Structure formats: C-alpha cells, structure tokens
Amino acid sequence: MPEPLIADERVQAATEPALAVSQLWKVFGPRADRIVGTPLAELPRAELLAQTACVAAVRDISFTVAPTEVFVVMGLSGSGKSTLVRCLTRLVEPTSGSVLIEGEDIRGADPRRLRDLRRHRFAMVFQHFGLLPHRRVLDNVAYGLEIRGVAKTERYRRAGEVLDLVGLSGYADHFPDQLSGGMQQRVGLGRALAVDPQILFFDEPFSALDPLIRRDMQNEVLRLHHEVGKTMIFITHDLHEALRLGDRILIMRDGAAVQIGRPDEVVGAPADDYVRDFVADVPKSHVLTIRWVMRPVRDDDPLDGPELGADVVVRDAVRAVLSSAAPVKVVHDGVLVGMVDDEAILRVIVAEEP
C-alpha cells in the first residue's frame, strides 16, 4: 500500500500537548535502576529476565497526546499497556524518562501535588468498575467530588447532571448490584466525568462486557467524547476497539512501541509483521481513507467527475466512485491532490472477500 501523499494535521495541533512522554522506562525487579543506559537494556525480555531477574515492562517509549485526542494503547497481554499507563499517573513509579502533563513534570511532583493532580486533573475507569456496593448510584457518581470536599447539594446537583449525560437518569437511588454490567460501567464513566478531569484514563474498561454491550459502550465513549471533548487515554487488547475509538493508536510489544499512528496508518502501512498480523482481518474499506487509494492526477484526466475530501473513508466513497463515468477528484484544503477510479476502489473491496 503506498504512503498517503499528504500529511494529516488534524490531531497534532500546534498547541501544548495534553501529555508528553519521553524515553520512558519501567523495569521491575532487583536493582531495576541499574539497567537503563547499560547494554543490559538492549537484551530481549527473556534474556534480561534470565540474566538479571528484571522485567522491562516499558522500554524507551516516547509520544505526545494532543488536547481532546483519544489515544489508544494496544497490545497483547503482557506487552506493558497497564504499566505504561500507570506510569503516567505514577500509580507505578517510572524507572527513567519524563512525563509532562500540560507541561508539568509529574515525576517531580511531591506527594501532596500528586494527590491534588489525581483528584482534580485525572480520572480513571477500570474493567472492574470499582463501585462502592453499599452506596447508591448517585453517591457513587458524586464520590470524587465528596473526596474533594464539595458540599452535598452541589455534588448531588453535578452527579444528577452527569447521570443524565451517561443515560442513567432514573437510577440515582439504585445500588450497583441492581444494575447490569453495562449500566455499572456507565456509573463508572459518570463517576470519572463528574470531577471534570483534564485527562480520562481507561484501563480495559469494557473487557468484561459481552460483545453487544461492549459496542454500545464504545459508542457511548464516542458520544461522550464528542460532547465533553476530554483527552482520553484508552487501553485495550482489542484491535477493533482501538480502531473504532482511537484518533491514534500506540501498539506495544514486549514493552516497546512498535507503531504509533492513526487507524488508517496502522492498517494501511503496518510497521512490521507483528502489526501486519494484527490488522490482517480488518476490513480495509472501513478504515482506509481515499488518500490511500488515490493516484496522481494525469494531464489527460477528465475533470468533470464528482469531488470528495481526502479523508472520506473508502466504504463511504464506493457509491460516488462507481456511479461516476469520470474518476472522482480528491481534494484537500481546496486543492486537487489525486484521482480515484473504479479499479482502485474495487481492489480494496475485492481484497476483503473471504
């Protein structure tokens, strides 16, 4: 698959990143702080373990996340996703590297500042909802505000608002065990949103839910993201979930970042065989945009065909392309950047046939 011909700057705005991670390592084990920067750090995981009894759970990872971006961390079990994300809030202490949250170095935060950041700037949603069983839904949602010392009337007002937002109006007085798994996770989402955090962290929040409910909840996250526009860091081992939710995806393997890219980049230009295997079964027409299938404009191209934006997904372009006698013109920022003809579209569709 050719590289897209033009860069997409949608996500990477010129503003300060919400999160900037640089050369982050987490090594577990005895004398873990003696590994980074030595030849031992280059050893494959199994050899490092055999020689030093240490595990490099996160290896030299760097990335930035733009404000309001949904950034997904994906990888197989044991690849280091949870450790990486826990390092970002110092639930796990990084071994080396830096983590800046809106420019603030959180590795330098003292315990008081850290507590403050966790109460005011971050919120977490976990797989096992972590709800308080003896408290009503309303109190569970209001919990973060209670910890912050917000007065009862105000926190109930806010919790009521959030219950509406997550589709649980009418359930304020229920207890968690009276709700289905999906609804309990909505309470978890509501509790996270109630404190109006700057960054929401999700650690495999939907893995325990059955597939239909899981899809519902993914839609819910997309809808909430659209409404509240928070920066979200989302861990999953499910590629389809990653592709649906992520503006960009970080793919991890054995603690290292194998690829960081938009869904269409991961599917259109997998960095190696590991990623290629991951994406082999993804219906390409659902993910690739027409910039991935367009060809350069030729002098003799008829220019009376329809026009489509370069970010239109192939699946949504099929009808326009196939029903037009002339090739479709692909435009980006008002400039003609390529052409798409029937053949290019059909190649993607036919490749998906079982």
Q: Which is nearer to ligand ATP, 91 or 114 (CB)?
A: 91
Least separation, in Å, of the C-beta of 191 and ligand ATP?
22
Give burial (CB, 10 Å; 0-12/13-18/19+) of 103.
exposed
83 binds ligand ATP (CB under 6 A): yes
- When asked if residue 158 is in the footprint of ligand ATP (CB under 6 A), the reply is no
Minimal distance, residue 92 CB to ligand ATP, in Å:
7
Decide if residue 90 touches ligand ATP (CB under 6 A): no
Coil, strand or helix at 233: strand
Instruction: Give the one residue of 24, 32, 71, 80 binding ligand ATP; rule: CB under 6 A.
Output: 80
Distance CA 131, CA 140 (A): 6
Which of 8, 20, 28, 286 is in the footprint of ligand ATP by CB under 6 A?
28
Specify the residue, 84 or 199, whose C-beta has the smaller distance to ligand ATP. Answer: 84
How many residues sit close enough to ligand ATP to count as binding (CB under 6 A)? 12
- Is 88 a residue that touches ligand ATP (CB under 6 A)? no
- Position 11, amino acid: V
Q: Is 95 a residue that touches ligand ATP (CB under 6 A)?
A: no
Exposure string of 124-151, with b = 16+ CB inside 10 Å and e = fewer, is: bbebebebeeeebbbbbbbbbbeeeebe
Q: Does 236 bind ligand ATP (CB under 6 A)?
A: no
Phi, psi of 300 (to 5 degrees): -95, 10
Per-residue x/- track, 36-55, ligand ATP (CB under 6 A): -------------------x
Q: What is the dihedral of CA 44, 48, 50, 51, to 10 degrees?
A: 130
Q: Specify the long-range contacts of residues 49-54, CB closer than 8 Å, at least 24 apart.
A: 53/29, 54/27, 54/28, 54/29, 54/30
Residue ranges binding ligand ATP (CB under 6 A): 28, 55, 57, 75, 77-83, 237
